[in-house]
């Protein structure tokens, strides 16, 4: 996007700047994606709270004021922490996150559900796993390795991973994430038993498995491991999650797995490398 066509930056934590946009464009549906993710959140927990909580509250308040049709507030696998079953983590289980990001996501789910029950506002949300995209560069999360690895594989043929080789995490390719989010947004509200906390899954893998998949396309690819502070965050999150509530209540079904996603990611990034625009956005 050129600087000319880039929308001006807004602070979601300042309600007046967002209200201006809502009024100007007569907005009746918000996909509220603004958030500070887990790794950045641990470097600045106060900023994480401000953006994630004040931001969400502002959007919900504007939803009420302007009688919006619908607000979608994504949550995350970061809602989980100590005491949770790590395999096939169920929809209903203990939520004891250890990161500020996770704390804000649990609060965001509860806040959204509160606005549904108390004010009848149509708010919906789903717990995103690590999202992998060839359009968006990693943005300060613990699952970022799963995006960085593709860029470095295409660019340099090697990658130093900040998580341990056997760190299994739930992951999803961006097209599934977009489809799922739109499916939930368009679902019949009266059929939803949950609102802001749907488990949302596609696949799960660890760095060794992802590297092996990349090697099928780039045989010389090498991965090394140098775990940092993000390892502890990753260790507090599930290996895989049970998304049967999403499947039953709004028909969720993923289309991409590790193998098809890897092939597609590499195809797009190789094209961009050839065009000399690998890191351009």
Q: Which of 75, 53, 51, 187 is nearest to 128 (CA)?
A: 75
Q: Which of residues 64-93 bind ligand SER (CB under 6 A)?
A: 76-78
Strand ranges inside the chain, DSSP E: 29-31, 70-72, 75-76, 123-124, 126-128, 130-132, 158-161, 169-173, 198-199, 203-205, 222-225
Which residue in the set 55, 141, 207, 254 belongs to the binding site for ligand SER (CB under 6 A)? 141
Minimum CB distance to ligand SER smaller for 101 or for 221: 101
Nearer to ligand SER, 18 or 78 (CB): 78
Residue 251, SS3 per DSSP: coil
- The CB-of-22 to ligand SER minimum distance in angstroms stands at 26
CA-CA distance, 252 to 181, in Å (whole number)? 9
Q: Is 126 in the site for ligand SER (CB under 6 A)?
A: no
Quick one: 160 or 274, whose CB is closer to ligand SER?
160
Instruction: Tell the smallest beta-carbon distance from residue 137 to ligand SER (Å).
Output: 13
Selected catalytic residue, list 31, 66, 101, 225: 101
For the residues of 22-37, what is the DSSP string, one character each? HHHHT--EEE------
Using CB under 6 A as the binding rule, whether residue 170 contacts ligand SER is answered as no
Compute CA distances 145 → 12, 108, 201, whole Å.
Answer: 27, 26, 18
Give start and end residues of each alpha helix (H) in the chain.
15-25, 38-43, 45-49, 55-65, 100-119, 145-156, 174-186, 207-215, 230-235, 244-250, 258-274
Contact status: 18 vs ligand SER (CB under 6 A): no
Residues in contact with ligand SER, counted by CB under 6 A, come to a total of 11
SS3 143: coil
Interface residue with ligand SER among 49, 115, 128, 221 (CB under 6 A) is 128
101 is catalytic: yes
* Contact residue for ligand SER among 55, 112, 130, 254 (CB under 6 A): 130
From first CA to last CA, the distance across the chain in angstroms is 6
By CB under 6 A, residue 167 contacts ligand SER: no
Minimum CB separation from ligand SER for residue 171, in Å?
Answer: 9
User: What letter does residue 53 receive in the DSSP assignment?
Assistant: I
Question: Toward ligand SER, which CB reaches closer, 38 or 236?
Answer: 38
Q: How far is the CB of 98 from ligand SER (least distance, A)?
A: 12
Give the residue, chosen from 18, 38, 197, 207, that forms a contact with ligand SER under the rule CB under 6 A.
Answer: 38
Helix 258-274 and helix 145-156: axis angle, to 10°? 50
Instruction: Using the minimum distance from each CB to ligand SER, give the nearer residue, 15 or 80.
Output: 80
Q: Are 255 and 175 in contact (CB under 8 A)?
A: yes
By CB under 6 A, residue 199 contacts ligand SER: no
Annotated active-site positions, please? 101
Give residues in contact with ligand SER (CB under 6 A). 37-38, 76-78, 101, 128, 130, 141-143
């Amino acid at each position: 996007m050129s600087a000319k066509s880039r929308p001006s930056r807004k602070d979601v934590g300042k309600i007046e700047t967002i209200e201006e946009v809502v009024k100007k464009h007569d907005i009746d549906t918000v996909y509220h994606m603004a958030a500070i993710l887990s790794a950045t959140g641990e470097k600045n927990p106060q900023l994480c709270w401000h953006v994630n909580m004040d931001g969400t509250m502002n959007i919900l308040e504007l939803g009420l004021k302007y009688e919006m049709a619908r607000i979608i507030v994504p949550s995350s696998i970061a809602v989980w922490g100590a005491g949770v079953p790590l395999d096939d983590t169920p929809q209903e289980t203990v939520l004891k996150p250890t990161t500020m990001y996770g704390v804000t996501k649990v609060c965001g789910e509860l806040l959204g559900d509160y606005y549904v029950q108390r004010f009848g506002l149509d708010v919906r949300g789903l717990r995103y796993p690590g999202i992998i995209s060839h359009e968006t560069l990693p943005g300060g999360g613990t699952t970022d390795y799963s995006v960085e690895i593709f860029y470095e594989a295409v660019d340099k043929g090697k990658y130093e991973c900040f998580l341990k080789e056997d760190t299994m995490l739930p992951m999803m390719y961006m097209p599934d994430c977009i489809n799922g989010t739109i499916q939930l947004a368009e679902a019949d509200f009266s059929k939803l038993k949950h609102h802001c906390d749907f488990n949302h899954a596609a696949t799960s893998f660890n760095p060794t498995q992802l590297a092996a998949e990349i090697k099928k396309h780039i045989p010389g690819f090498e991965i090394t491991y140098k775990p940092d502070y993000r390892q502890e965050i990753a260790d507090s999150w599930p290996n895989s999650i049970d998304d049967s509530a999403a499947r039953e209540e709004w028909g969720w079904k993923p289309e991409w797995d590790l193998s098809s996603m890897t092939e597609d990611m590499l195809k797009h990034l190789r094209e961009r490398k050839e065009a000399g625009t690998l890191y351009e956005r």
